Amino acid sequence: MLKKQPQKTQVWDIYIRVFHWLLTFFVLTSFISIKYFDSLTVHFISGYCIIGLLVFRLVWGLVGSETARFVNFVRGPSAIIDYIKSLSDAQAHKASYGHSPIAALSVVAMLVILVAQVLSGLFFYDEEIFLEGPLAQYGSADLVGNARIYHPIGSNLVMFIIGAHLVAIAVYYILFKQNLVRPMIVGWRKSAEGKLLRVRHIAAFLSILCALIVVVFVVFFGN
């Protein structure tokens, strides 16, 4: 008798996976380039890439596949509390399809912090070190001043939330023996549900186009 093969469930579409790893790469590049190598050129280029990626994710969060849309994973306090309660029983706990309510908080926090970070970078201006963000000339004195104060703080916040994210993944694996990284690489996980995502590639193309337009706009007016 042939052994029945476990079914696979598609958790993440190709666009979310590419976004995730590109964002990780460019955020770390942006941080390392200025922190350890003082390379403004690399820092600016990675910053533009991050802007494009964030625009794509925000649009894809509205028109993307099931697990990518904000409406399907951002939950209220009651859902978060129920999920936390479910963590007390490792045997009965079942992984969420897509982001869990707790992971959703992390995703939203990361997006908000990164949006604030790129905006503060765009309007950053410090005359003492002769450093000016691409759009600083268009900002008010208060906006430019706040951007200069927030930008170094924001970089530390980004690193903190990345660290917290990694710790959460490790703890989840230890407690529930479930690898959350592999599905973000291959897109699938073992599951009897056998779900498939409906991915609208035209919507993805338009989302990417929106991201490119915003980046071109920032680069054009920044020069």
Arithmetic mean of pLDDT, 8-13:
94
- Unique residue bearing structure tokens 């859902």: 79
pTM summary value: 0.93
pLDDT in tens, 92-115: 777 888 999 999 999 999 999 999
CA angle 49, 103, 186 (to 5 degrees): 65
Q: If you average pLDDT over every residue of the chain, what do you get?
A: 92
Q: Is the dihedral of CA 103, 106, 107, 108 positive or negative?
A: positive
Arithmetic mean of pLDDT, 191-196:
78
Mention every residue, 6+ apart, whose C-beta is less than 8 A from residue 114: 23, 27, 50, 54, 158
The matching CATH number, chosen from 1.10.3470, 1.10.10, 1.20.950, 1.20.120, for 13-222 is 1.20.950
Does the pLDDT value for residue 4 go beyond 80? no
C-alpha distances in angstroms, 56 versus 7, 44, 203?
A: 31, 19, 11
